[in-house]
Chain A
Amino acid sequence: IAGITQAPTSQILAAGRRMTLRCTQDMRHNAMYWYRQDLGLGLRLIHYSNTAGTTGKGEVPDGYSVSRANTDDFPLTLASAVPSQTSVYFCASSPTGSNYGYTFGSGTRLTVV
């Protein structure tokens, strides 16, 4: 593993089903983030975690939950998927501090039908 690994790379999901998107980093970054990217819109923050054991809500948190049991993993769960959650999801991480760049994963393309 080098950087951030997201899984799966793509998924088609029936509405109402539960789904967990996985994100693992090997850089020992304290902060991790989940974004969604929709056509024509900038990336929007769903949830974030400044350090293991803590999480916070971003701009569009409804319908999503996260956990941060350790430094490396930051899974995103959709409890009951809806078609409006069709999007590309990116996980990112950064060292603590505002002037560090974010490292992004390659994304998960999710289609809810």
Chain B
Amino acid sequence: KNQVEQSPQSLIILEGKNCTLQCNYTVSPFSNLRWYKQDTGRGPVSLTIMTFSENTKSNGRYTATLDADTKQSSLHITASQLSDSASYICVVSDLNNAGNMLTFGGGTRLMVKP
């Protein structure tokens, strides 16, 4: 069964600090990996999408990495801001059901404190 595991489940950091969120997956065959940000009471919003051949992708202060060999991804947030407080969800798509069968991780809840 396809699985996506995220760690830590929750994280508290001070404003201005950096942090790294982890994602391990067992989805096969792999199509792409996505990171979403979900603010409280809102729907998820896409941050990055990476295919098999991409090792890193940035979106402003967010940088995602992908190691397809070890089936691991990370999301690095630089110089955190209060508005970064949200849940961050790792999502992996498999090639057989691309577009229809995404496997979602349980998310990492990040709180940025002043």
Instruction: Say yes or no: B100 contacts A105, CB within 8 Å.
Output: no
Closest to A39 in B: B106
Instruction: Say yes or no: B99 contacts A98, CB within 8 Å.
Output: yes
Instruction: Say yes or no: A42 contacts B104, CB within 8 Å.
Output: yes
The complex places the Cα of A46 from the Cα of B101 at a distance, in Å, of: 11
Give the residue among B41, B49, B98, B100 with the most A Cβ atoms within 10 A. B100
The complex places the Cα of A98 from the Cα of B97 at a distance, in Å, of: 9
Contact partner of A90 (CB less than 8 A), chosen from B32, B43, B46, B105, is: B43
Count how many chain A residues have C-beta atoms less than 8 Å from C-beta atoms of the other chain: 28
The complex places the Cα of A97 from the Cα of B41 at a distance, in Å, of: 28
Chain A residues numbered 88-113 whose CB sits less than 8 Å from any CB in chain B: 90, 92, 94, 96-107
Question: For chain A, what secondary structure do more than half of its interface residues adopt (helix, strand, loop), or is it mixed?
Answer: loop
Instruction: Say yes or no: A40 contacts B106, CB within 8 Å.
Output: yes
Contact partner of A42 (CB less than 8 A), chosen from B31, B32, B106, is: B106
Instruction: Say yes or no: A99 contacts B51, CB within 8 Å.
Output: yes
Instruction: Say yes or no: A31 contacts B89, CB within 8 Å.
Output: no
Instruction: Say yes or no: B107 contacts A107, CB within 8 Å.
Output: no
The complex places the Cα of A60 from the Cα of B101 at a distance, in Å, of: 12
A16 CB-CB contact with B under 8 Å: no
Minimum CB–CB distance from A64 to chain B (whole Å) comes to 16
The complex places the Cα of A105 from the Cα of B99 at a distance, in Å, of: 17
Instruction: Say yes or no: A105 contacts B43, CB within 8 Å.
Output: yes
Known: A50-B100, A94-B99. A41 touches B43 (CB 8 A): no
Instruction: Say yes or no: B34 contacts A41, CB within 8 Å.
Output: no
The complex places the Cα of A21 from the Cα of B90 at a distance, in Å, of: 26
Closest 7 CB pairs of A and B: A98-B98, A104-B43, A42-B104, A101-B46, A43-B104, A98-B99, A98-B31
Question: Interface on B for A, CB 8 Å cutoff?
Answer: 4, 31-32, 34, 41-46, 49, 51, 89, 93, 95, 98-107
Question: Interface on A for B, CB 8 Å cutoff?
Answer: 4, 31, 33, 40-45, 48, 50, 56, 58, 90, 92, 94, 96-107
Q: A31-B100, A90-B44 are in contact. List 15 more A-B contacts (CB 8 A).
A: A31-B99, A40-B106, A42-B104, A43-B44, A56-B100, A58-B100, A58-B101, A90-B43, A97-B98, A98-B99, A99-B31, A99-B51, A104-B45, A107-B41, A107-B42
